[in-house]
Amino acid sequence: MPGGEERVLRRRIRSVQSTKKITKAMELIAGSRIRKAEERVRAAVPYSEAITEIARDLAAAGGEAQSDLLVPREVKASALVVIAADRGLCGGYNSNVFRAGEGEVKGIARRGERYELITVGRKAEGYFRFRDYRIDHTFSGFSENPTYEDARAIARAVEARFNEGAYDKVELVYTRFVSIGVQEVVQRPLIPLDRETLEGGDGKPGTDGVGPSYEFEPDPSTLLESLVPRYVEARIYAALLNAAASEQAARQRAMKAASDNADELIINLTRKMNRARQDAITTEITEIVGGAEALRAGETNEPDTLLVASATYD
């Protein structure tokens, strides 16, 4: 029995070692991708800041709300763009986004409003579809490496439904990348764009002082109306890049924790296997000693047995 336990433990150790090789490789891959994702986030910041500043200056210069995307409405239906991952094995990254999205959906229901979900990532689609939430659009296949065209496709779908009157307000729910060790789930308004939305975007905060004076050609209203779709695309693209970097950071932490747990499990199983081996050796030694003692006792009693037999014969 001890020998069989030792074989079982040895198989488990080999299995854990194989799993550790996978988690360690995934940790290294995620670590290499974080740097690239972080660089993309930083590269997108100047554009996001610039387009936010221009939109704010146009609004301050007298740009009137002519586009449907600029006209505030009475909110009867809200849409949430929930950005998660296409794959798992990234710790609590997906569940944190899902929790925030569900909380907002419950808040919308308490206010007596309708809601629609636009899911980005296979995990988000699977989670909300399994729970019978209303999903209007789904996008997937690019969570780790989003492009501007992906952001444009999402923006076009959202804008079309907003212009049709299906939504009165659209918000983004995603994970903002602060640093490799810090990411936070945020909820940001997307459309309609008002001054509060512009001030709370990803660009520079507004200033209370007197800003520079510009001359616009054509008029600020025309420029603002043509700029709004690009602003929406830029906001979605920035959210996708932040989510991609956050996903890789979360996956690196999760795989490192898995590798560390594998090391600890291997140590514990090795100790248990060594104890089982010692028990097996002790049992074998005991059996050998017992057998030797039995043989020795048999050799000692054999002459007496012959003597008794001889006396009986006589």
∠ at Cα 53 (51, 56), nearest 5°?
Answer: 110
For residue range 81-131, what is the model confidence (pLDDT) as tens digits?
999 999 999 989 999 999 999 999 999 989 888 999 999 999 999 999 999
Residue 205's pLDDT band (cuts 50, 70, 90): very low
The set of residues, in sequence order, having a beta carbon less than 8 Å from that of 184 and lying 6+ positions away, is: 175, 176, 178
pLDDT at 135: 94
Q: Which of 148-157, 164-173, 229-238, 285-294 has the lowest mean pLDDT?
A: 285-294
- The catalytic residue positions are 90
The mean pLDDT of the chain is 83
pTM of the model: 0.80
Q: Which domains does the chain have, with CATH numbers?
A: 21-260 (3.40.1380.10)
What number of residues does the chain have?
A: 314
Report the pLDDT averaged over residues 64-78.
76
Name the residue among 191, 225, 194 with its Cα closest to residue 77.
191
For residue range 210-264, what is the model confidence (pLDDT) as tens digits?
555 666 667 767 777 778 888 889 999 999 999 999 999 999 999 999 999 999 9
pLDDT at 296: 81
CA distances 234 to 50, 54, 154, Å, are: 10, 13, 11
Indicate whether 165 pLDDT > 90.
Answer: no
